[in-house]
Amino acid sequence: MEIKNVVVAGGGVLGSQIAFQAAYCGFNVTIWLRSESSISRTRPKLDKVRDSYLQAVELMASDPAPANWCAGIADAGRFDKDDCLRKVEAAYNGIRLELDMAKAVADADVVIESVAESVPEKIAFYKTLAPLLYAKTLLLTNSSTLLPSQFADVTGRPDKYLSLHFANAIWKNNTAEVMPQPKTSRESFDETMAFANQIRMVALPVMKEKSGYLLNSMLVPFLLSGLDLYANGISDPASIDTAWTRGTGAPRGPFQIFDVVGIQTAYNIISQYRKVPGLFAPLLKKMMLPYNFKAMEAILKKMLDEGKLGKSSGEGFYKY
Ligand SMILES: NC(=O)c1ccc[n+]([C@@H]2O[C@H](COP(=O)([O-])OP(=O)(O)OC[C@H]3O[C@@H](n4cnc5c(N)ncnc54)[C@H](O)[C@@H]3O)[C@@H](O)[C@H]2O)c1
């Protein structure tokens, strides 16, 4: 199936980015929103995303170092600043916002669900959507922690339903994890992989359902391992980071990553380990039990109370 018309449901942090990226790549894009007040929250988000693309293009033009490169915007070696700027403006002006769900999804080739991470809200959304969709429409979820098999039947099209999971700052962190559930057809999986590539994502197959997909399945235990060393008084953040960076050649250690991600998000992840145990599988039994979650939580809570939110506030584990 040739995909032309893309609908993103939800215009939040990620929905606005996914819509912008698809529009930037030349697709007809509609964002479905549930109320007038959602429109007034989504417009400024799109303004912000547009600014981020414009700043990225300027930076790539002035200093095309790998650290500045945004592969969601252009390939290295084939960069045409004017063409990129034209595409950013065309994306910004082309995205349609629609409150009427039936109108939004009429003739949609693909609907990408990016509404709040809540089971009842997602179920309610899929139930309303199911009778309105054309038979051809592929239905994708951007959920970070919920498995698609949980919703497959309520979508009314389990064979055409799977996860397409994006990363924040999609224009730079341009991976898309493609994860089918047991009832997804091979054809839908292949179409989703192809579509992800068409919107300049690096499509990564996740062949079995797994909370945390690929990246977070590795990153979260890594970050927790570093924090656990500190929480148990084994060593200090700078030494733990150096052990990792000098020892492996990786650019950042766990505490440098915590500061970039933000202490609030770190705290949320620590709090989430109880809710999403699958995030840590298969490490849970062997490695996670000795983790001193209480001490980790206390360290992060104290930092939050002191306003040390990470790089964004000028101080986290390090001062900036
Ligand atoms: N924020 C991230 O870094 C990130 C990364 C990857 C995936 N995700 C996933 O993307 C999805 C959205 O996350 P977000 O960060 O954009 O959230 P957000 O809170 O910024 O946006 C959620 C959007 O959904 C709308 N919404 C909420 N409840 C709804 C309902 N019942 N019906 C219709 N619309 C509703 C809101 O109005 C808003 O537009 C989640 O499933 C999340 O797991 C988020």
User: What band does 287 get if pLDDT is binned at 50, 70 and 90?
Assistant: low
β-bridge partners, 138: 110
Evaluate if residue 289 carries a pLDDT over 60: no
Nearest alpha carbon to residue 227 among 273, 278, 275: 273
Q: Domain check: are 124 and 239 in the same one?
A: no
Q: What is the pLDDT of residue 141?
A: 98
Q: Domain check: are 91 and 35 in the same one?
A: yes
- Average pLDDT value over all residues in the chain: 93
Q: Domain check: are 255 and 194 in the same one?
A: no
Q: What is the pLDDT of residue 293?
A: 82
Taking residue 66's Cβ as centre, other Cβ atoms within 10 Å add up to 7
Q: Domain check: are 258 and 166 in the same one?
A: no
> Which ranges of the chain does DSSP label H, i.e. alpha helix?
13-24, 36-62, 81-94, 101-105, 119-129, 186-198, 215-231, 237-248, 254-261, 263-272, 283, 293-305
Evaluate if residue 43 carries a pLDDT over 90: yes
Q: What is the pLDDT of residue 217?
A: 87
Distance 77 CA to ligand 1 centre (A): 35
Q: Which helix or strand (DSSP H or E) is residue 152 part of?
A: none
Higher-confidence position of 10 and 281:
10
- CATH number, domain with residue 268: 1.10.1040.10
pLDDT in tens, 235-270: 999 999 999 999 999 999 999 999 988 898 888 877
- The β-bridge relationship of strands 175-180 and 96-98 is unpaired
User: What band does 135 get if pLDDT is binned at 50, 70 and 90?
Assistant: very high
Q: Domain check: are 188 and 291 in the same one?
A: no
Q: Domain check: are 151 and 222 in the same one?
A: no
Choose which residue among 38, 45, 99, 115 to substitute to test ligand 1 binding: the one with the highest number of ligand atoms within 8 A of its C-beta.
115
Evaluate if residue 73 carries a pLDDT over 90: yes
Distance CA(239)–CA(230), nearest Å, equals 10
This prediction's pTM: 0.89
Nearest alpha carbon to residue 281 among 202, 211, 229, 215: 211
Mean pLDDT of all residues in 217-233? 91
Taking CA atoms only, the protein residue closest to ligand 1 atom 18 is 12
Q: Which domain holds residue 114?
A: 5-205
User: What band does 21 get if pLDDT is binned at 50, 70 and 90?
Assistant: very high
Q: What is the pLDDT of residue 268?
A: 80
CA dihedral (153, 155, 161, 165) positive or negative:
negative
Evaluate if residue 283 carries a pLDDT over 70: no
pLDDT in tens, 75-103: 998 999 999 999 999 999 999 999 999 99
Evaluate if residue 281 carries a pLDDT over 90: no
Report the atom number in ligand 1 closest to the C-alpha of 144: 43
Q: Is residue 274 part of a domain?
A: yes
Q: Domain check: are 105 and 184 in the same one?
A: yes
- CATH number, domain with residue 126: 3.40.50.720
User: What band does 276 get if pLDDT is binned at 50, 70 and 90?
Assistant: low
User: What band does 294 get if pLDDT is binned at 50, 70 and 90?
Assistant: confident
- Find the residues whose C-beta lies inside 6 A of ligand 1: 10-15, 34, 38, 114-117, 121, 124-125, 142-144, 165-166, 168
pLDDT in tens, 167-206: 999 999 999 999 999 999 999 999 999 999 999 999 999 9
